[in-house]
Chain A
Amino acid sequence: MLNFLKQVGDYAKESVQAAKYIGQGLSVTFDHMSRRPVTVQYPYEKVIPSERYRGRIHFEFDKCISCEVCVRVCPINLPVVDWDFDKATKKKTLNHYSIDFGVCIFCGNCVEYCPTNCLSMTEEYEMAAYDRHELNYDNVAMGRLPYKVTQDPMVTPLREFAYLPDGVIDPHELPAGSRRAGKLPEEILAESQPAAEKAAD
């Protein structure tokens, strides 16, 4: 009998505990309702990509020396470099260069290793197409520069979280000229320069 009563008591205790946890959960969801939405209304508002954003790769045809380093460092040997050896000048001449962005994983190895810096990352990420073969960009397509979000009159550019002033979490309606938390790279450089000169003296 006592054992049975203990069982009933334990069961009741567990039920109360479960009810308490559900109450706690409800208070959490209720609290979330008073927070500001984090939505970026995408086609009308866009987040400004950070300076290290790895978007579609840009290619400068005239700088390329057809060394094929990009092909070798690529995880899947994706860039297609079409060149001929010019016997008169004893140099390679580049005919075509293409990367299939439907296959590219945007790891940035090619950009990193390109000896002449003819490859670079852009901030373009809207590459939707009706056919996957349209994503195979040739050197002309890769030579185009993307439209900047900040210059598009149709778009309200919004800063990313890390680029907001200290303590601000909402990118909407920032006052003009508000700065991100911390110093800019060039400011750090300017501060460290005099110190370095002094050290040299």
Chain B
Amino acid sequence: MGQGIDLQRSFVELLTQLGLPSGAARAIWLPLPMTLILIAATVSIFVTVWLERKISAAAQQRIGPEYAGPLGTLQAAADGIKLLFKEDIVPSKADPILFTLGPALVVIPVFLSYLIVPFGQNMVITDIGVGIFLWIALSSITPIGLLMSGYSSNNKYSLLGGLRAAAQSISYEIPLALSVLAIVMMSNSLSTIDIVEQQAQYGILGWNVWRQPVGFLIFWVAALAECERLPFDLPEAEEELVAGYQTEYTGMKFGLFYVGSYVNLVLSALIFSVLYLGGWEFPVSVSWLASLLNVSETTPWLQVITAAIGIMMTVIKAYLLVFLAVLLRWTVPRVRIDQLLDLGWKFLLPVSLVNLLLTAALKITFPVAFGG
């Protein structure tokens, strides 16, 4: 590492030059990236909701939101304000504590997972060693929140929805973790930064898609199931369960579920692009281009450009995946609960296990190509 732009070091250096002790400078730096990521995650909801509505409209030959802001971009803001001002109702026979705790428990892990999403070499809140494992661990908390809100609503539909959500999340966690494990095995690290670095050498050809095509598909299917996106949206299947565990919720508590689902979608897309599509890497290696033009990699302007390209590439890749998710939503019909569990346990799990073993075997046989 070290060639990429390092905002933290520059910031701390600047403040120590101004006479602050380095500890204080670090403490001032600390909340900045967190707030930035929090804002970025919130803005990403606006973009995703807009994309979802516009792409859905286009796929159905409609126009979609048009009047709230230019091209309907402020529709999500309008929805949010409406939810904010709605009366907050707790059903009389519901458990008020669990009922309130549920949505919070769904949203917080999703936002926490942004800790490990890298947007550039040093552009990540914390490069902890167990990065990707933290994401898997945090995403296992969500079903508890869903179950909690479904059970505490004191409503059959909510309970069924919550149970389905828990069953679905638990059974798709395993193939997800196994396909991530194959990647981890290839990059010899759980850190998201290392995973991207390991894909960085040959531009687009070095990305993990080519080495893990099966894992790529399994991860995408499992991620869709984790986000409760349409082919797997049984927990809130409108036609059968009204809205599943969301049935009794109004106002900002419902808003939290809404926010959580969209942030989770963006998060999954981001993680997906980090694991399989080279994260912040440009299809052509930037460092290779720089050496071609005889520019040192530590040149400040090149660092800024690389950082900008990195953020852009991560976001573009993530939103391409969001687009694919929306398109899939209007293409694939919802599966039944038994089909869902069949797919999870009888298809994805064995296939991902075979994929893991195959990766291990290939790693021993071709250590050059599979990160020996």
Residues of chain A touching chain B, judged by Cβ–Cβ distance below 8 Å, are 15, 22, 25-26, 28-30, 32-33, 35-39, 41
Please pick, from B55, B61, B328, B331, the residue contacting A35 in the complex, using a CB distance under 8 A.
Answer: B61
Q: Is the pair B327, A36 in contact by a Cβ cutoff of 8 Å?
A: no
Of all chain A residues, the one with the shortest Cβ separation from B231 is A22
Q: Report the separation of the CA atoms of residues A45 and B185 in the bound assembly, to the nearest whole angstrom.
A: 60
Q: Which residues of B contact A32 (CB under 8 A)?
A: 58-61
Q: Is the pair A22, B58 in contact by a Cβ cutoff of 8 Å?
A: no
Q: Report the separation of the CA atoms of residues A36 and B58 in the bound assembly, to the nearest whole angstrom.
A: 8
Q: Report the separation of the CA atoms of residues A22 and B217 in the bound assembly, to the nearest whole angstrom.
A: 13
B13 to chain A, nearest CB (A): 49
Given A15-B347, A33-B55, CB of A28 within 8 Å of CB of B61: no
Q: B63 on the interface (CB 8 Å rule)?
A: yes
Q: Is the pair A33, B58 in contact by a Cβ cutoff of 8 Å?
A: yes
Q: Report the separation of the CA atoms of residues A30 and B332 in the bound assembly, to the nearest whole angstrom.
A: 13
Residues of chain B touching chain A, judged by Cβ–Cβ distance below 8 Å, are 55, 57-63, 327-328, 330-332, 347
Q: Which residues of A contact B55 (CB under 8 A)?
A: 33
Interface Cβ pair total, 8 Å cutoff: 34
Q: Is the pair A25, B332 in contact by a Cβ cutoff of 8 Å?
A: yes
Given contacts A28-B331, A29-B59, A33-B55, 16 further A-B contacts (CB under 8 A): A15-B347, A22-B331, A22-B332, A26-B327, A29-B330, A29-B331, A32-B60, A32-B61, A33-B58, A33-B59, A35-B61, A37-B62, A37-B63, A38-B62, A39-B63, A41-B63
Can you spell out 30 A-B residue pairs with CB atoms less than 8 angstroms apart? A15-B347, A22-B332, A25-B331, A25-B332, A26-B327, A26-B328, A26-B331, A28-B331, A29-B59, A29-B327, A29-B330, A32-B58, A32-B59, A32-B60, A32-B61, A33-B55, A33-B58, A33-B59, A35-B61, A36-B61, A37-B57, A37-B58, A37-B62, A37-B63, A38-B61, A38-B62, A39-B61, A39-B62, A39-B63, A41-B63
Q: Report the separation of the CA atoms of residues A134 and B159 in the bound assembly, to the nearest whole angstrom.
A: 43
A76 to chain B, nearest CB (A): 33
Of all chain A residues, the one with the shortest Cβ separation from B60 is A32
Of all chain B residues, the one with the shortest Cβ separation from A27 is B331
Of all chain A residues, the one with the shortest Cβ separation from B57 is A37
Q: Which residues of B contact A26 (CB under 8 A)?
A: 327-328, 331
Q: Which residues of A contact B332 (CB under 8 A)?
A: 22, 25
Q: Report the separation of the CA atoms of residues A15 and B55 in the bound assembly, to the nearest whole angstrom.
A: 28
Q: Which residues of B contact A35 (CB under 8 A)?
A: 61
Q: Which residues of B contact A39 (CB under 8 A)?
A: 61-63
Q: Which residues of A contact B61 (CB under 8 A)?
A: 32, 35-39
Of all chain A residues, the one with the shortest Cβ separation from B328 is A26
Q: Report the separation of the CA atoms of residues A22 and B57 in the bound assembly, to the nearest whole angstrom.
A: 20
Q: Report the separation of the CA atoms of residues A129 and B96 in the bound assembly, to the nearest whole angstrom.
A: 40
Q: Report the separation of the CA atoms of residues A37 and B65 in the bound assembly, to the nearest whole angstrom.
A: 13
A8 to chain B, nearest CB (A): 10
A21 to chain B, nearest CB (A): 10
Q: Report the separation of the CA atoms of residues A121 and B63 in the bound assembly, to the nearest whole angstrom.
A: 33
Of all chain A residues, the one with the shortest Cβ separation from B330 is A29
Q: Which residues of A contact B57 (CB under 8 A)?
A: 37
Q: Is the pair A30, B62 in contact by a Cβ cutoff of 8 Å?
A: no
Q: Which residues of A contact B327 (CB under 8 A)?
A: 26, 29-30
Q: Which of A15, A22, A29 has the most CB of B within 10 A?
A: A29
Q: Report the separation of the CA atoms of residues A26 and B331 in the bound assembly, to the nearest whole angstrom.
A: 6
Q: Report the separation of the CA atoms of residues A28 and B332 in the bound assembly, to the nearest whole angstrom.
A: 11
A17 to chain B, nearest CB (A): 14
